[in-house]
Amino acid sequence: MKKAICLMLAAALVAALVPALMLTASAATDEFPLIESAPKNVCWPEGTMAAYQCVCSNDKGHEKFSYNWFITFDGKEYPIGVGSKSTDPWRKYVDFSGGMTGTIGNVLWLDKVQKGLDGSLMRCTVSSKTQSSTVYFRIMVGDSTMFSPPDITAPVFVTCDQGEDITLTVSGKPTSGNVTEIKDFITYQWYESPDYDIYNIKAIIDGDDTHNGKTYKPDTSEPGTYFYACGVFDGEGEPMANYSYSNMIIVEVLEKVENVSMEVTYMPNKTEYYVGESFDPKGMVVRVWRSDGYLDLKDGKDLKFEPVSFSKEGEQKVKLIYEDINTEITVKVVKKTVAPPKITEQPKGGTFKLGTECTLRVKAESSDGELSYQWYQQENGKEKTLIPDATAQIYIPPQTEGEISYSCVVSVTAGGAVVSEAESASAIVRYEAEETTAPDTTSPDTTAEDTPAATTGADATVPDTSEPAGTTGAQTADADGTGSDTFVPGDDKTSAIGGQDGKSSKAMIIVLASVAGAMVVGVGVTIAVLAAAAKKKKGVK
């Protein structure tokens, strides 16, 4: 938009300085013709048809505007097409007999052009109802033996700021015509001119280097209107076989404008916001004071804002930025009353063995914004602490022996700010280690009372071996330390150690769990049993 305005201003300035760009402006609302392709300064071989075209970017169908062509001959301007008279002197150098000379819309044809028109100044004026734009060019006529001129395209109007880096670009290519061979050797040469006239051009040479490429970077250090053209030559050797000059390229360098200050002349319609809302500049007018006057910017046009949205309540400063200057306004931000989220599923804890995974889950719902989650933990006697990166609905606590309480805060966010929140119930998670039991090496049937005292030596007392009537018995001990009671029924007084001599009915020796104790007790019992058996045989009681 800025470029379009500058282009119109530049066009008006050029019209005031030189006749190259004749602009007529009024308060009418119809469109201004924007010429994007102008007729070229082409050198035509004598006797060929010279053709020219003017193209407007906002009239692609060539029906919106009117196109009027004129030629200056012997110091006087004559119309071509509408208004042209058969007695006009320039007409004798063009063939009208075949009906090929004339204009159709934005195109001009001059059939079998003669050298008598060489150098004549031409113009095309494009008009809407109340506005017009004009471009100038010259008709060039060379020898009939020349090749057809190369085609060339170039910009027409270029507007830039002072000091801005711009590049002018053209392109050329050979064209067919009344020749049998087209050489494809294209060279370029850039020219500058004090005005619109191609006859006043001068080659641009920088030291020993001629600007002879497709592009050229003009000097924009000083404001003003500058004219450039590029020549395109097709063919080797001297003189060049054929050539064309581009249309005159008009470059308007605008004076650099310094921004001085800015102020808000009208506050925006909205000055109070909820947390999470974005700044709305509608209704605001900001006046920017510049070195060339001032500029009013409405509804935030061409401005940047900091911040764009509000994440906390209270009075907030909004910075308004335009290019390299800025100012501030103050708005009020309040927290919107939003119902806290409804927690529909609470996390569940429990007691777990190490190696078993515990999963805590919370579910919530809200119709006032997006939900976010944050888990916390609390150990016995300590403060509740936030768990980093635990921001999902599900949390799997680490397996650490002991008891820890977990809870989740569910928040409703709008515009990146928290507007309400609710905390879940606490879930207590207890981790315990697996229990390990040592093996029991004690016989469950062994008691001290079951084991007779061991008696050894000369003072050993022989236990009483008397038995109830009809029964005699003897306590015996085997050589391996085990013992047995052998009962012999009736009058049989014979006792067999280990049950070898009589009828064994039962063997019962109870040994202590301790190996050493078992050996001592076993030996003692064996001695006592042997002594008792000996006494029985002798009749000693």
Domain of 230, CATH number, reads 2.60.40.10
H helix runs in 286-384, sequence order = none
Q: Given 334, 362, 391, which residue is the final one in a domain?
A: 334
Q: What is the pLDDT of residue 184?
A: 53
pLDDT at 427 over 60: yes
Query: Are the beta carbons of 191 and 156 closer than 8 angstroms?
Result: no
Q: State how far the Cα of 183 lies from the Cα of 176, in Å rounded to an integer.
A: 10
What type of residue is 531?
A
Instruction: Kindly report the number of other CB atoms within 10 A of residue 391's CB atom.
Output: 12
> Looking at the predicted structure, is the pLDDT value of residue 121 above 90?
yes
Does residue 95 carry a pLDDT above 90? yes
Tens-place pLDDT, residues 170-200? 987 766 544 434 445 678 889 999 998 988 9
pLDDT value of position 42: 86
- The residue that leads in pLDDT, 203 or 485, is 203
Residues 269 and 397 in one domain: no
Looking at residue 206, its pLDDT comes to: 67
Q: Tell whether 445 is covered by a domain.
A: no
Our count of domains for the chain comes to 4
Give mean pLDDT, residues 4-9: 37
pLDDT for 122: 93
Higher pLDDT, 95 or 472: 95
How confident is residue 485, by pLDDT bands cut at 50, 70 and 90?
very low
Shared domain for 216 and 200, answered yes or no, is yes
CB-based contact 11:23 (threshold 8 Å): yes
- Per the domain annotation, does 450 fall within a domain? no
Quote the tokens at residue 304: 């940047």
Q: Does 330 reside within a domain?
A: yes
In this predicted structure, which of 10-24, 129-143, 441-455 has the lowest mean pLDDT?
A: 10-24
pLDDT at 22 over 50: no
Residues 308 and 175 in one domain: no
Assess whether 178 and 306 both reside in one domain. Answer: no
- Find how far residue 93's CA is from the centre of its chain: 67
Mean pLDDT for the chain?
77
Tell me, yes or no, if the pTM score tops 0.95. no
Pseudo-torsion of CA 435, 440, 444, 446, nearest 10°?
-150
| The last residue of a domain, from among 239, 254, 269 | 254
Same domain, 50 and 95: yes
> Within a domain: residue 447?
no
Say whether pLDDT at 499 is over 70.
no
Residues 13 and 80 occupy one common structural domain: yes
Number of neighbours of residue 183 by Cβ within 10 angstroms: 16
At residue 468, the 3 state secondary structure works out as: coil
Render pLDDT for 324-354 as a digit per residue (tens, 0 to 9): 999 999 999 988 788 899 999 999 999 999 9
Same-domain status, 373 and 250 = no
The percent of residues in the chain predicted with pLDDT above 70, rounded, is 69
268 and 378 fall within a common domain: no
In a domain, 57, yes or no: yes
Q: Torsion angle of alpha carbons 229, 232, 237, 241, nearest 10°?
A: -110
pLDDT band at 211 (very low <50, low <70, confident <90, very high): low
CATH of the domain at 282: 2.60.40.3630
Asked whether residue 245 falls in the same domain as residue 164, the answer is: yes
State which of 327-341, 433-447, 491-505 shows the largest mean pLDDT.
327-341
Residue 3, H or E segment: helix 2-17
Same domain (yes/no): 278, 352: no
For residues 495 and 94, which has the higher predicted lDDT (pLDDT)? 94
- State yes or no: pLDDT of 441 exceeds 70: no
Tokens of 397: 């606590």
Given a cut of 70, is residue 6 above it in pLDDT?
Answer: no
My answer on whether 317 and 263 are in the same domain is: yes
Give the pLDDT confidence score for residue 360 in this predicted structure: 97
Burial letters 484-497, b for 16+ CB under 10 A, else e: bbbbbeeeeeebeb
For position 198, what pLDDT does the model report? 87
pLDDT of residue 231: 86
Provide the token pair at 532.
């008792």
Q: What is the pLDDT of residue 243?
A: 78
The answer to whether the beta carbons of residues 350 and 408 sit under 8 Å apart is no
End-of-domain residue from the set 291, 316, 334: 334
In-domain check, residue 440? no
**pLDDT class for 409, splitting at 50, 70, 90?**
very high
For residue 449, tell me if it sits in a domain: no
Is residue 373 domain-resident?
yes
Q: Are 301 and 282 in contact (CB under 8 A)?
A: no
28 and 105 part of one domain:
yes
Per-residue model confidence as pLDDT tens digits over 127-166: 998 899 999 999 999 887 776 777 788 999 999 999 999 9
Provide the domain limits for residue 481: 471-538
pLDDT surpassing 70 at residue 523: no
Q: What are the structure tokens assigned to 334, written together?
A: 């309040």
